[in-house]
Amino acid sequence: MRNPGPFPAALSGRVFTRRQATELGVSPGRLRRRDVRGLQRGLYAHALDDPPVLAVVAGLDLLHPRLWASHRTAAELHGLCLPHGVSGTGALEVSCQARRARPQLAGVVVHQSRTLASEIQLGPPAPGLPLDSMALLTTPARTWLDLAASLSVPELVAIGDQLVRLPRFRFEGRADPWATRSGLADLLAAHPNLQGIQRARAALEQVRVGSDSPAETRLRLALRRAGLPDPDLQIALDPSDPFSPTADLGYRRHRIALQYDGGGHRSYERLSADNSRDNAFTSAGWAYGKFDRQDWRTDFARAVNFVQAALRDAGRVGPGMRNAP
């Protein structure tokens, strides 16, 4: 097969429009060569087998101004953990304002919504972006609200917990949460008729600061469904010691601690730290339960039984401690 020949350096390794190519002297025939991939009518990528999502979104915005990544696509770009079966599958999802005509794009789901300017942000720089272009996407909070149209209340609680949790700068490069509960409440008030708004309101009532993973959220919700008290989150064994071992959740008053250990707990260093934490709580006389992905699959039934037994041992289970239905 013949060499495709030279290509303008300004478009090399980028997503670009037919207009941009024409302005730089690229012929229609050159756009049909093997190193150029057609993404949409009028949109191409050069030397990119799998063009970055942000670059494709920016290119679509050039073709149809004021499109932005939303829903599942925006959630994945922000790094939000989505429920199993929702992430990693499906078409690119973008949105445009409700008052606009919806463009027809092959393999792309185009939503229409009333979205405020404050609910859209610039995406970060990314490889393959078109010339002088940046991608737009919904903010993490607005992404959560958009997902309310298709996710269940527990799934929305898990994502809401991710939004309000306090990040660790050394791991995530940010010190501020993506949202606050009051900010989410204001967002819901601004869109009272949005599809899924009732589920979002029900979820917000259960969103809490302190769940560091969807598994911890699911464990907390399993305890609530069983009628058990709402647990404390991120329990330091010694609150006066900033280096104290910490359990994911539990009941400080009754010296009950629960820990979820997922796949990230398998390195030697992590196992050593986990063992030190486990020993500290058990040595201090706490009822201490550890749970894993197998418990996730059974909706934490073992954890519910563990807490029920521990509270009975403490003589604390009674009508006054149960959650309101």
Chain segment 193-249, per-residue pLDDT in tens: 999 999 999 999 999 999 999 999 999 999 999 999 999 999 999 999 999 999 999
> What's 214-321's CATH class?
alpha beta
Cβ contacts of residue 227 below 8 Å, gap of 6+?
322, 323
State in Å, rounded, how far the first CA of the chain is from the last one: 70
- Position 274 pLDDT exceeds 90: no
For residues 261-276, give the mean pLDDT: 71
Model confidence at 266, pLDDT cuts 50, 70, 90, reads: low
| Band of pLDDT at residue 292, cut at 50, 70 and 90 | very high
pLDDT of residue 237: 97
3-state secondary structure 281-302: HHHCCCEEEEECHHHHHCCCHH
- pLDDT over 90 at 33, yes or no: yes
> What pLDDT is attached to residue 198?
98
What pLDDT was estimated at residue 85?
65
pLDDT for 90 equals: 72
The Cα 58–Cα 67 span in angstroms is 8
Greater model confidence, 60 or 90: 60
For residue range 150-167, list pLDDT tens digits in order. 999 999 999 999 999 999
Helices marked H in the chain: 18-23, 53-63, 71-78, 140-147, 153-164, 169-172, 181-190, 197-204, 214-225, 268-283, 293-297, 301-313
What is the rounded average pLDDT of the residues 268-276? 77
CA angle centred on 285, ends 276 and 315, rounded to 5° = 140
pLDDT band at residue 323, thresholds of 50, 70 and 90?
very low
Mean pLDDT of 59-65: 95
User: Residue 263: pLDDT band by 50, 70, 90 thresholds?
Assistant: low
Show me where the domains of the chain are located: 65-204, 214-321
**Among 211, 224, 307, which residue's Cα sits nearest to residue 260?**
211
**Pairing status of strand 287-291 against strand 256-260:** parallel
Position 313, amino acid: D
Mean pLDDT over 57-61 rounds to 97
CA distance 185 to 194: 14
Three-state secondary structure call for residue 164: helix
82 Cβ partners below 8 Å, 6+ apart?
A: 72, 75, 76, 159
pLDDT at residue 325, as a whole number:
31
Phi, psi of 241 (to 5 degrees): -110, 115
Is residue 319 over pLDDT 70?
A: no
Q: At CA 149, angle to CA 145 and CA 155, rounded to 5?
A: 75
User: What integer pLDDT is reported at residue 264 of this predicted model?
Assistant: 54
